[in-house]
Structure 1
């Protein structure tokens, strides 16, 4: 397995030069016979912990960049396009949650990363949960932002309706990132992955986790159950889950509210109480929905 900042092989996505979408360094590597595109901290802070950001359904890692860029000042940050998504190459049989979890592990192997905190949005959350199931010694902490999948998103027509509602609740500039990614991903891949995502036992796997876990939910996310159901699920976990509700946010929190999300993640990583930043506009607030016994307590101002 090799890595370079320049092109490898003949992947069509590499033929035309393009303006970098981020201040993170854009790189390519070759993992398990697939060309993988990723972004990485241009300057790695001394003794920094590794943090990898895992994207959602049909999307590339590009929409995760607003939050990842902020956190890159404190963590050795990676934002890959998993195989079959974004600018990365495709591999037959990759479109299910376990295979994407294994692909994440292979990417970290290629980068020489033994252990990392994984930050996911939407489909990226079950990928992280599955990663933790197979590689419990390789994940330090889990950050699950707007988890997707399961019965609440079935059937496909219901999920499409939820996505349609969410689209008008996201910043308009999100469309310039999401639409090209969805078109590239294609309808056949969408149908296949949706089936795999909604059949994945997310709750069972979540209850099996024994690492510090932060769940961040948007108040206006149509893809998630109401907060009381989240609290009911979280209360089944003794000590390791912290659930935070972000007022005013919908599903793509990593894109729409990067400052607030990065603030919460930093506090979580340092085992500090979750407090609002006084610099935020008054309509942006955090609310704890659930706090496990092992997490520090504290009022949310």
Structure 2
């Protein structure tokens, strides 16, 4: 009688066959003693710009796939699970925002990527901001979708309440992706990572950025302040930030509105005006909240 195959341990390549969750190729690499899981364009377009998608708090990159897949025909796409998240292995020391930024750059080094555009959601946005702050030569552009952290999400009980309000506003299928990731991440990691997230100076760093930066906000997102406050904040910068409000969207825009988000990102990457698509449902519309003077004006 043959012995049954053992299941893979966390952070190890799976030993049993499984159905891929994406059209992107599933791969593993080993960085600083940790097995890192990531997804990549199976056949990257020749000469394509590199675009990496950075996940949020406690999650893996899986919920970012709907948007990443829609952009993979134009960009050399990566969707990593950062160390300590998703299927990647954990580090002995708990990662904070600067550590996760360093881990992102280490992933680029491992993959031979010199420069990339980063698309993040929630906690992924402070990670991207830190990448652009600490390693500006490595980041081409930044796309910040539903940025999290700061005083609006403090203390932890307030953030939990905001997440509770957000959950019913997301597609029901989001729970099938998010719940296993949260369980795997664990309560101790949640408390430590939240402390790091809310202590990170996201606003100060954002206003210091000198690369083209797109911020996409969901009109129904309870984790973010009102759009007028965002405009007030964005106006403090000297024009590198473009802020767009997506009507009908909540926090996990990368998962819930991939068509609209991919449309916005493509226009931003090509320095084109961001316009609504007449084929979208009537309740889904894009509104500019703030446009820096270095961005081309929107068309009527």
TM-score, structure 1 normalization: 0.95
1:170-229: per-residue Cα shift (whole Å, max 9, x none)? 000000000000000000000000000001000110011000000000000000000011
- The answer on whether the counterparts of 2:10 and 2:89 sit within 8 Å (CA) in structure 1 is no
CA distance in 1, matches of 2:128, 2:10: 30
Residue equivalent to 2:198 = 198
* C-alpha RMSD of matched pairs (Å): 1.5
1:245-266: per-residue Cα shift (whole Å, max 9, x none)? 0000000000000000000000
CA distance in 2, matches of 1:20, 1:10: 17
The alignment covers a number of residue pairs equal to 294
CA distance in 1, matches of 2:265, 2:40: 18
CA distance in 2, matches of 1:89, 1:10: 6
CA distance in 2, matches of 1:70, 1:39: 14
What's the offset of the Cα at 1:43?
1.1
| Cα separation, partners in 2 of 1:280 and 1:182, compared to 1, 3 Å | same
Residue equivalent to 1:229 = 229
Residue equivalent to 1:40 = 40
CA distance in 2, matches of 1:158, 1:121: 19
1:141-190: per-residue Cα shift (whole Å, max 9, x none)? 00000000000000000000000000000000000000000000000000
- The answer on whether the counterparts of 2:52 and 2:118 sit within 8 Å (CA) in structure 1 is yes
- The answer on whether the counterparts of 1:83 and 1:94 sit within 8 Å (CA) in structure 2 is no
Residue equivalent to 1:108 = 108
TM-score, structure 2 normalization: 0.96
1:214-225 → structure 2 map (5 Å cutoff): 214-225=214-225
- Deviates further, 291-300 or 241-250: 291-300
Gaps of 5+ in 2: 1-7
Residue equivalent to 2:258 = 258
- The answer on whether the counterparts of 1:102 and 1:131 sit within 8 Å (CA) in structure 2 is yes
1:5-84 → structure 2 map (5 Å cutoff): 11=11, 14-84=14-84
1:151-300 → structure 2 map (5 Å cutoff): 151-299=151-299
Q: Secondary structure at the match of 2:84?
A: coil
What's the offset of the Cα at 1:243?
0.2
Gaps of 5+ in 1: 1-7
What's the offset of the Cα at 1:16?
3.3
CA distance in 2, matches of 1:36, 1:220: 34
